[in-house]
């Protein structure tokens, strides 16, 4: 059992603590608070940090909501800065074409994706969630809707396939206080897929936006 007299800042951190700070840094880079070069340097320092004090130094000049104290205090829970924001888009439409939504974007309470003889790609790994519960309505008609979700959020799939496929295998729980994503809709002569992937590493942060 550890010595209860050891100051908190001298205690050893866990991999989960480092991951929380890593996500805080990625968020800061996505907001333009730090450059990609600074992101690389701080990620390197995070990966070798051994104590809370070392992690605190890495985020000391970021806003309170992005500090190491906040991230570490929520160890094992989703960082609170992943929740909130004002969405600007609520629809991805691909008709005889393709549409893509990825990078740093804000998921609205209800988002609709429609693919008709085309394809929609949605990546939520670097996204913020406007509310703790959000819904994606996916409709694939002779086309496909592909949704990539991070490993730390709750996913509930309720769509149906009619001479098509609607993927239900990735529906399960995420971290404590994580957003809840409900995917519904239908696929006719097409498919809707939901895949869990780990969050992007350095150099993989993309700009948000939609290409159609």
Among 159, 165, 171, 164, smallest CA distance to 195 is for 171
Supply the pLDDT for residue 80.
53
Provide the pLDDT for residue 90.
Answer: 93
- For residues 27-49, average pLDDT: 88
Q: Give the chain's mean pLDDT.
A: 80
- pTM to 2 decimal places: 0.57
Exposed/middle/buried for residue 182 (C-beta within 10 Å: 0-12, 13-18, 19+): middle
Most confident of 7-16, 37-46, 57-66: 37-46
Question: What are 138-151's pLDDT values in tens digits?
Answer: 999 999 999 999 88
Give the relative orientation of helices 15-30 and 36-48 as an angle to the nearest 10 degrees: 170
Helix (H) / strand (E) element for 11: namely: none
Q: For 112-141, how does the pLDDT look when each residue is reduced to its tens digit (9 = 90+)? A: 999 999 999 999 988 989 888 999 999 999
d(CA 36, CA 26): 9
- Token pair belonging to 36: 């990609």
CB 59: neighbour CB atoms within 10 A? Answer: 22
């Amino acid at each position: 059992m550890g010595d209860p007299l050891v100051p908190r800042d001298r205690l050893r951190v866990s991999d989960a603590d480092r991951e929380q700070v890593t996500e805080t840094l990625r968020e800061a880079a996505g907001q333009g608070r730090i450059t990609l070069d600074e992101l690389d340097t701080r990620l390197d320092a995070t990966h070798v940090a051994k104590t809370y004090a070392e992690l605190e130094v890495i985020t000391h000049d970021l806003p309170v909501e992005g500090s190491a104290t906040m991230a570490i205090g929520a160890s094992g829970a989703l960082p609170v800065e992943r929740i909130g924001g004002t969405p600007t888009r609520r629809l991805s439409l691909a008709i005889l074409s393709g549409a893509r939504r990825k990078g740093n974007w804000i998921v609205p309470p209800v988002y609709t994706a429609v693919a008709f003889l085309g394809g929609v790609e949605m990546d939520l790994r670097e996204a913020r969630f406007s509310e703790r519960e959000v819904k994606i309505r996916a409709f694939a008609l002779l086309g496909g809707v592909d949704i990539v979700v991070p490993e730390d959020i709750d996913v509930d799939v309720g769509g149906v396939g009619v001479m098509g496929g609607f993927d239900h295998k990735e529906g399960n729980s995420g971290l404590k206080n994580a957003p809840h994503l409900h995917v519904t809709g239908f696929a006719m002569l097409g498919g809707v897929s939901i895949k869990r992937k780990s969050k992007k590493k350095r150099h993989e942060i993309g700009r948000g936006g939609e290409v159609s």
